């Protein structure tokens, strides 16, 4: 069978996406490849399809132990025999899988990199025919990437020791040249075919907002999309706890994920999210690498990430099935401080020497600057991302926060002068200065203990901003930090200090401005900004909901995540086409023969029942 037929029959898709065909062809000819494609572009098919056509076994090396089960479940749904080997298997199942592989029972075998060295796996690898080795998340081999895994450094030696070296396919979504070079060198790729597809993800709407209260904004955002499932990334464990608790208290279906939880709890929470039992995942960046949940409708960054690579990777977990999705970054200038602190006090990579460590730190700080520039730009956000990754981009994309809402410059010189002179007076009285909250108390005329303790109410600037909310004053302070008029010292008790340029504002008439977004007329009319997601065609929406419920029930019975049965895009196509016969069912995008056999009956019945009810209504 040829590959296009296989794509249609097995996977239910009509055509290859960009990059897939050349990668598949090369692998089928036994040539190494390096596929650099953004999340959601369809990297898996690039090795899953050749696996079906090649005579021997395809091994897939993946760092994501928790994912393997779902990946194998998804393949099983497609009728593709596969299994995985990792530390979650008990001794008996491990043996069974090894025996199955020896018998040739599988086309694909997922293995964790650490397994490659295990004796029994080595024996197996020496005895059977391995046609293809796919290395997923290949950037994990590079110390320059964000997800370095020492186990990946052993892959090259493993491949070389095989009786016959298979074709090797390396896949990643990380685009920088340095990481790409590392992948080729450290995995020992031999004259690989390199395919890099465009990094744009047209279905993602990017936005950066500076809300007065992030919590209030988040709740509003979530209430406006009551059915969408999504991820909220926070910079620290503590923040994850606070945000998750807050959402739960307000009745949102949220769960959490960070490195401070037990393995069991992390696994449970992840599953609840993947299986659509919890709608919102609040997590640190420990969550999600390769999370294969295609129906993520939004990714909100509660804090600014450390660099654009992380941001695009995390935001890119939205809309993998191609449906419209939103990526919002909630920016507060104070986040820059947090990120800087995390970089300066981050985990040290034990494999690098001291001088390299300093170099890495400097590089991280440079990347942070670029990230900050993204948050502050008034230009097209998509263009900013694409240019960062070395792609050309049009001036305006028309579907990001900056392209679709005007920005207005506001003069905040008076507010700035009040704050700066307040800090100046505090510094005069306490040469070591005080922290932000004391300054806020003083400016807003609070009667707090700190005020009394330091006698701040004796200063002439006491209470000069009492008419402005604390959040708003905080926003101004953050802005002044961002613009270099104030700085926060490092250390456990950071204090607020004047920077030399503050004199320009205080004594030489320099103006301070900030950019605020002006809502469009349509947004004003709708009473909100969030109106741009495409709704399914009229009528289709009700049916879509019915099909979604049916999918949920079937997934529950089969004990697999819902997207493994059908993706949202497939359901939407089904709701639009309303197939009445098994042949028509096969026409739906994402429905292959195997899945049709399994699911045509219940879905066709549901569609027929719905049509009948609709007719009865008229
Ligand atoms: P990646 O690993 O690159 O992040 P996946 O392999 O998970 O992406 O694919 C993302 C989604 O795109 C999946 O739902 C997959 O089934 C779908 N997909 C892949 N190839 C095609 C194609 N040629 N046509 C339509 N959908 C596709
Ligand atoms: Zn834009």
User: Could you say which ligand is closest to the alpha carbon of residue 567?
Assistant: 1
pLDDT in tens, 6-27: 999 999 998 999 899 999 999 9
Q: Is 234 helix (H, G, I), strand (E, B) or coil?
A: coil
- How many Å apart are CA 423 and CA 436, to the nearest integer? 10
Distance CA 139, CA 184 (A): 10
Give the ligand whose atoms come closest to the C-alpha of residue 138. 1
**Distance of CA 426 to CAs 360, 458, 485, 542, Å?**
37, 11, 16, 61
Which residue has the least CA distance to atom 25 on ligand 1?
13
Cα of 149 vs its chain's centroid, Å: 19
d(CA 469, CA 42): 48
pLDDT of residue 523: 40
Given a cut of 90, whether residue 492 has pLDDT beyond it is no
pLDDT at 384: 93
- Whole-number Å distance between alpha carbons of 274 and 229: 9
pLDDT score for 530: 36
Q: Give the residue whose CA is nearest to atom 24 of ligand 1.
A: 13
Q: Ligand 1, closest atom to CA 20?
A: 23
Ligand 1 atom closest to residue 292's alpha carbon, by position in its atom list? 7
Q: Which two tokens stand for residue 271?
A: 């599953």
Q: Which protein residue has the closest C-alpha to ligand 1 atom 21?
A: 42
The Cα–Cα gap between 183 and 190 comes to 11
pLDDT in tens, 334-344: 888 888 887 88
Q: Report yes or no: 114 and 151 within 8 Å, Cβ to Cβ.
A: yes
Is residue 574 pLDDT above 90, yes or no?
yes
Residues with CB under 6 A from ligand 1: 13, 16-17, 20, 37, 39-45, 292, 294, 320-321, 567
Residue 337: CB atoms within 10 A of its CB come to: 18
| Closest CA to ligand 1's atom 23 | 16
> Measuring from atom 15 of ligand 1, which residue has the nearest CA?
42
Q: Each residue of 588-614: pLDDT tens digit?
A: 999 999 999 999 999 999 999 998 988
Q: Give the Å distances, CA to CA, from 132 to 16, 110, 123, 316, 437.
A: 20, 12, 17, 28, 59
The pLDDT of residue 449: 87
* Cα–Cα distance, 111 to 104 (Å, whole number): 16
Atom in ligand 1 nearest the alpha carbon of residue 44? 6
Query: What would the pLDDT profile of 256-310 be if each residue is shown by its tens digit?
Result: 999 999 989 998 999 899 888 999 999 999 898 656 688 899 999 999 998 898 8
Question: What's the pLDDT at 525?
Answer: 40
**Residue of 33, 45, 588 to mutate, ligand 1, most atoms within 8 A of C-beta:** 45
Residue located nearest, by CA, to atom 9 of ligand 1: 42
pLDDT for position 616: 83
| Statement: residue 406 has pLDDT above 90 | no
Q: What is the pTM of this model?
A: 0.64
pLDDT averaged over the chain? Answer: 88
Q: Determine the residue of 44, 110, 169 to mutate for testing ligand 1's pocket, defined as the one with the most ligand atoms within 8 A of the Cβ atom.
A: 44
What residues have CB less than 8 Å from 39, skipping those under 6 apart?
Answer: 173, 201, 313, 316, 317, 320
State which ligand 1 atom lies nearest to the alpha carbon of 563. Answer: 14
Measure 489 CA to ligand 2 centroid, in angstroms.
35
User: Relative to the alpha carbon of 393, which ligand is closest?
Assistant: 2
Q: How much is the pLDDT for 485?
A: 92
Q: Which ligand has the shortest distance to the CA of 208?
A: 2
- Residue identified by tokens 């320099």 is 510
Q: Which residue has the higher pLDDT, 207 or 568?
A: 207
Contact 302, 243 (CB under 8 A): yes
Task: Indicate the top mutation candidate among 6, 24, 40, 42 to test ligand 1's pocket, ranked by most ligand atoms within 8 A of CB.
Answer: 42
The pLDDT tens digits of the residues spanning 529-558 come to: 333 344 445 567 789 889 999 999 999 898
């Amino acid at each position: 069978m040829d590959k296009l037929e296989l794509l249609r029959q097995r996977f239910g898709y009509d055509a290859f996406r960009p990059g897939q065909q050349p990668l598949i062809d090369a692998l089928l000819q036994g040539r190494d490849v390096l596929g650099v494609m953004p999340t959601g572009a369809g990297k898996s098919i690039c090795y899953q399809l050749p696996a079906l056509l090649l005579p021997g076994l395809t091994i897939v090396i993946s760092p994501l132990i928790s994912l393997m089960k779902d990946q194998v479940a998804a393949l099983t749904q497609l009728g593709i025999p596969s299994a995985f080997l990792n530390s979650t298997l008990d001794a008996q199942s491990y043996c069974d899988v090894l025996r199955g592989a020896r018998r040739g029972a599988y086309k694909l075998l997922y293995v964790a990199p650490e397994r490659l060295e295990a004796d029994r796996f080595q024996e197996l690898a020496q005895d059977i025919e391995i046609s293809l080795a796919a290395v997923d998340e290949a950037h994990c081999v590079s110390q320059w990437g964000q997800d370095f895994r020492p186990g990946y450094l052993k892959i090259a030696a493993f491949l070389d020791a095989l009786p016959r070296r298979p074709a090797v396919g390396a896949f990643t979504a990380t685009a920088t040249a340095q990481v790409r070079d590392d992948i080729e060198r450290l995995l020992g790729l031999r004259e690989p075919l390199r395919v890099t597809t465009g990094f744009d993800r047209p279905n993602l709407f990017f936005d950066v907002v500076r809300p007065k209260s992030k919590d209030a904004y988040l709740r509003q955002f979530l209430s406006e999309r009551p059915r969408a499932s999504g991820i909220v990334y926070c910079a620290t464990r503590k923040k994850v706890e606070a945000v998750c608790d807050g959402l739960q208290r307000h009745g949102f279906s949220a769960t959490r994920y960070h490195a401070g939880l037990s393995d069991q709890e992390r696994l449970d929470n992840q599953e609840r999210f993947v299986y659509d039992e919890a709608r919102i995942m609040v997590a640190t960046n420990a969550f999600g690498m390769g999370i294969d949940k295609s129906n993520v409708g939004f990714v909100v960054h509660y804090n600014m990430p450390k660099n654009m690579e992380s941001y695009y990777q995390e935001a890119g977990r939205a809309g993998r099935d191609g449906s419209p999705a939103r990526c919002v970054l909630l920016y507060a200038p104070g986040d820059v401080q947090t990120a800087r602190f995390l970089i300066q006090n981050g985990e040290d990579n034990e494999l690098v020497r001291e001088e390299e460590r300093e170099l890495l730190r400097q590089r991280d700080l440079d990347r942070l600057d670029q990230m900050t520039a993204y948050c502050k730009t008034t230009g097209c956000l998509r263009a900013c991302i694409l240019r960062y990754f070395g792609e050309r981009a049009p001036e305006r994309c028309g579907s990001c926060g900056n392209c679709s809402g005007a920005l207005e410059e506001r003069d905040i010189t008076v507010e700035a002068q009040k704050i700066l002179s307040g800090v100046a007076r505090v510094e005069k009285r306490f040469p070591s200065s005080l922290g932000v909250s004391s300054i806020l108390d003083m400016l807003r005329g609070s009667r707090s203990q700190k005020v009394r303790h330091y006698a701040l109410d004796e200063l002439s600037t006491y209470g000069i901003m009492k008419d402005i909310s604390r959040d708003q004053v905080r926003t101004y302070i953050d802005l002044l930090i961002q613009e270099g008029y104030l700085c926060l010292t490092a250390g456990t008790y950071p204090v607020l200090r004047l920077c030399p340029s503050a004199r320009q504002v205080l004594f030489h008439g320099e103006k301070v401005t900030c950019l605020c977004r002006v809502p469009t007329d349509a947004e004003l009319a709708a009473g909100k900004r969030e109106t741009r997601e495409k709704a399914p065609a009229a009528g289709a929406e009700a049916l879509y909901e019915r099909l979604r419920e049916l999918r949920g029930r079937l997934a529950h019975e089969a004990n697999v995540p819902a997207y493994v049965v059908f993706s949202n895009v497939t359901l939407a196509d089904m709701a639009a086409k309303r197939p009445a016969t098994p042949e028509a069912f096969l026409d739906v995008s994402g429905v292959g023969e195997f899945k049709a056999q399994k699911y045509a009956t219940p879905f066709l019945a549901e569609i027929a029942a719905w049509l009948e009810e609709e007719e009865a209504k008229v």
